[in-house]
Amino acid sequence: MRETILKKLAYWHASYPWRMIFVTFILTVVFGAFASQLKVTLRWSDLLPSRDRRTVQFNKIIDEFATATSLVVVVQGEEQRIKAFAEKLAPSILELIDSSKNPKIQLQVEKLKEKIEKLESEKNEHAEIEKLRSEIKSLEAQIDRKLFQRVDYKTEVDFLKNHGLMLIKEDDLENIKDIFLDPNLTGLLVNLNNSMEKEYIGREESISTREKEDQAVMFLDGIQDLIETLHKAATGNEPQKEEIHAVVGKLLLREPYFLSYDKKALVLNAIPNFTMMDIGLVVLGTDVVQAQVDKLLLDFPDVKAGLTGFIAIGRDEMVYSKQSLGYTTVIALIAILILLIISFRMWVAPIFATVNLMVGLVWAVGTASIVVGQLNIMTQMMGVILLGLGIDFSIHLISGFTEWRAAGDTIASAMEKSFLKSGKGIITGALTTAFAFLTLIISHSRGMKEMGIVTGTGLLAILFSTMIFLPSLLVLRERHIERKLVKKALPKQRIQRDITFRFLGKSCKWLSKHYVFTLTASLIITFILIWSGSKIRFDQNYMNMEPEGLTSIALQDAVLDKFDMSMDYALVLTDDVDQSREFARKFRKLSSVAITEDISIYLPSNKEQQNRIPHIMEIMNKLRSIPVKSTILPEEVQEITSQIDRLRMNIMEMQDMAYLGGQDKVDNKCKEIVGDPALSSSRNIILELKNLLEARSSLVADRLTHFQDDFAPYFKAIVTKMCNTSPICLEDLPESILDRYSNTARNQFLITVFPAGNVWQDAEFLKQFVQDLESVSDRATGMPPVFRALIEVVIRDGRKAMLLTIVVIFLLLWADFRNPRYALIAMLPLIAGVFWMVGLMNLLGLQLTVMNVLGLPMIIGIGIDDGVHIVHRWHHEGKNKVRVIFSSTGKAILLTSLTTMLAFGSLVFSIWRGFGHLGGALFIGVGTCFLATVIILAGIIGLTERRHRIIEK
């Protein structure tokens, strides 16, 4: 039946080429229409099963919590300059709008208004009119759409001023409440020392966790600011009132800006009015903010600033991966075209093959639009993969047709022989490769499943276009040549010539003749490379897959370095505040967790609030009883000096404790105040102040009085305000806090969990972090859990897909050859080629990654083609035709291997290094499968024919 269909196709092409081209045109238009509807998404969560709990939770959070996908601006420079930069940038971001859709929206509104006017002239249409008016209102809201709803770069200072003491844990409040009792400078210094000795001195557990360590750093930061401002006042450089008020703010409310530990970096989180699914707005929003940053940098030449975060990285990965895949595809296409022109010694047929491939790709993309609807991170590579594999069909067909025409056959005869001799192999090879990809359907990963569907159906689409379109082009060309010959009165019969690769035929004939040496050498090489492959390692640094040189990626490392915190955090969605509070408490106890943020930070439980009220009342009563002193007497300077020295000793003791406990951030902050014991040249600002007070005691009293005049009243006013004992309810929280931790309906609450290490550069830590999260809640999601789940799915399902692919291919070949022995012979070079591939990767110093692991099941489907075509030709030609087989079909599989290697090899130039890893692995795999095919099959054919000759004798 297959031969009958192939003969019929050959006849139609030879007799009615224009009709076949017309059919191709119609199909291309139809598939092109579907192709135009294809969408692209670059969320890692889209690679997991759609029903996976982590995927469901992640998508829900992304859709309902805009704050989960902020655009982060990282500003670096001197403290005051980066703060000034942030103050100017934030309002400019809030003014950004999207007006690109205004004309379209206005047109829709006008049409709806016309409908309303028409309905108003009719009766009993009030419900329909109201519905249309509602649509108009919704559309008008999108005119000049505001791109960002908020920019966070400071803490909620006003809320802290009103409820600050109620937000301090009871134990901490008990230890540090002395700080709030006296607004006067002398009393404050005494109380600071008392509080420090209660909270920190001799208590190693007080800085044992990341949260406590950060609190200690902020406490010391407030003291450092106080010391520096007192030093300024004591030298006669009277501080401004705003500076003194800022000192009070740092002491009582901590640093309001989102500053790094060294105060040389600041982050702004721009909260969007769109989600990651709004691809157009992701690109637009990132680009317009970058434009604002670039514009402002002209006024701040000493400041550096750039964008990062989910939105910026998503935008860069999408834009640059598209660009890189675009130019790598062009590079591959040009290289393949040049190779074919040189190999076929003509330019028309290779151009026909390229045109046919472009048509096939349109059909493939249209098919992808029908079967999956969108491309993800993996499937967007389909163009390059299909380019490398799809051209193979054309090469085999053109190679056969030109070979028979060069041998003197008529157009119809050459076409029929091409379909019968090459067509069978083309169809079998296409089916085995397509089914190899389609076996990925068993995967639980959407990414792998869709990769299998898109590539498998795409190959079949290109196969179909090759059988329908390309032969007619070849026939029309031959007819044109014959007409030219007739006009010139030359004979239509061509001069016979050999255009096969005779060197390949001779080499394989020698290998076949010396089959013992060939097969023994193959076996030894295979064992060596299996041993080498067993030593290959998995790349534990997942950042090696990301694009290199992108600002958004580089700034992730800057944030990790400056803030000691990864931006790739985990997220947990809870059903109420109590659940959020309980989960957050458990997360904070995990060693793999650095910081946990949730709404309970600003909303203590009723019991916690009630327990804190007595301490707050005590503070309030004592503060009221202490008057604000108007002057600092000269005799007080000695007490102030004594307390400054006491403070120095306490900080030095705290420094020793931090050094021994490995709390580097506390140790570094102490060094900024009391100096580095290991460096005699380091500055000790607190000792400088002590010496200054001792040297100028007669002048200092008046100078410190000026400081006290602004400091003490403001201090007392702020503390009094912070002593608010009114219960904090959910409704009391400002919108900015509610939006950060709660959805719009305020019935679900978000916990953000930051890892204590780098989840991308340490695979073992990523595994531990995710396991710890899931030990608390199975709702844990976010990039670390999603990516970890993806790794597990890819490795597990990749292994299953490989085994299934081998079984499916064997059954297909058995059905094709109708003999399991021939099927096994065709598969032997493939199996060897895969072992050679992995072994050679290890010898070249390459490692396995999440992306190139996909190359293993893929190479099984790709590499089988070579063996299929050789065995088909051997089966068709008969005995003693090794030289003919490898000169002719060997030429075709060499060219197809080279073109496929060029296509995959072009991925190495992709900016997204994950594509390069896959392309490099497949480049090696295609090459090893070709070598294994010509070497091993030549030996097997030699051995088989030798046995047949012995049997015949």
pLDDT tens per residue, range 874-902: 877 667 777 888 887 777 788 888 888 88
CA distance 338 to 351: 10
- Contact yes or no for 377/44 (Cβ under 8 A): yes
Q: What is the pLDDT of residue 791?
A: 77
CA neighbor of 470 nearest in space, from 423, 420, 424 = 423
Degrees to nearest 5, angle at CA 16 with 12 and 21: 100
CA distance 755 to 564: 10
Low-confidence ranges of the chain (pLDDT < 50): 495-499
Q: What is the pLDDT of residue 41?
A: 66
Q: String of b and e for 549-565 (b: at least 16 CB within 10 Å)?
A: ebbbbebbbbbbebbbb
Q: What is the pLDDT of residue 566?
A: 76
CA distance 73 to 96: 15
Q: What is the pLDDT of residue 721?
A: 93
Q: Which amino acid is at 427?
A: I
CA distance 477 to 497: 19
CA distance 421 to 400: 8
User: What's the N-to-C CA distance of the chain in angstroms?
Assistant: 36
Q: Which tokens is 653 given?
A: 């003791």
Degrees to nearest 5, angle at CA 449 with 444 and 450: 140
Beta-bridge mates of residue 265: 76
β 39-40/781-782 pair status: unpaired
CA neighbor of 944 nearest in space, from 765, 821, 781 = 821
pLDDT in tens, 519-529: 899 999 999 99
Q: What is the pLDDT of residue 38?
A: 76
Beta-carbon contacts of residue 287 (< 8 Å; ≥ 6 apart): 315
- Contact yes or no for 505/884 (Cβ under 8 A): yes
Q: What is the pLDDT of residue 123?
A: 62
CA distance 738 to 740: 5
CA distance 647 to 186: 12
CA neighbor of 140 nearest in space, from 112, 99, 176, 109 = 109
Q: Which tokens is 560 given?
A: 């990790």
- Contact yes or no for 865/392 (Cβ under 8 A): yes
Q: How far is CA 480 from the centre of its chain?
A: 52
CA distance 677 to 109: 72
Q: String of b and e for 63-74 (b: at least 16 CB within 10 Å)?
A: ebbbbbbbbbbb
Degrees to nearest 5, angle at CA 62 with 59 and 67: 160
- Contact yes or no for 350/402 (Cβ under 8 A): no
Beta-carbon contacts of residue 896 (< 8 Å; ≥ 6 apart): 391, 392, 395, 396, 865, 866
Here the contacts of 515-519 (C-beta below 8 Å, separation 24 or greater) are 515/938, 515/939, 515/940, 515/942, 515/943, 515/946, 518/935, 518/936, 518/938, 518/939, 518/942, 519/936, 519/939, 519/940, 519/943
Q: What is the pLDDT of residue 277?
A: 65
Q: What is the pLDDT of residue 498?
A: 47
Q: What is the pLDDT of residue 266?
A: 94
DSSP assignment of 324-391, as one string? HHHHHHHHHHHHHHHHHHHHHT-SHHHHHHHHHHHHHHHHHHHHHHHHTSEE-TTGGGHHHHHHHHHH
Q: How far is CA 430 from the centre of its chain?
A: 32
Angle between the 309-344 and 551-563 helix axes, to the nearest 10 degrees? 140
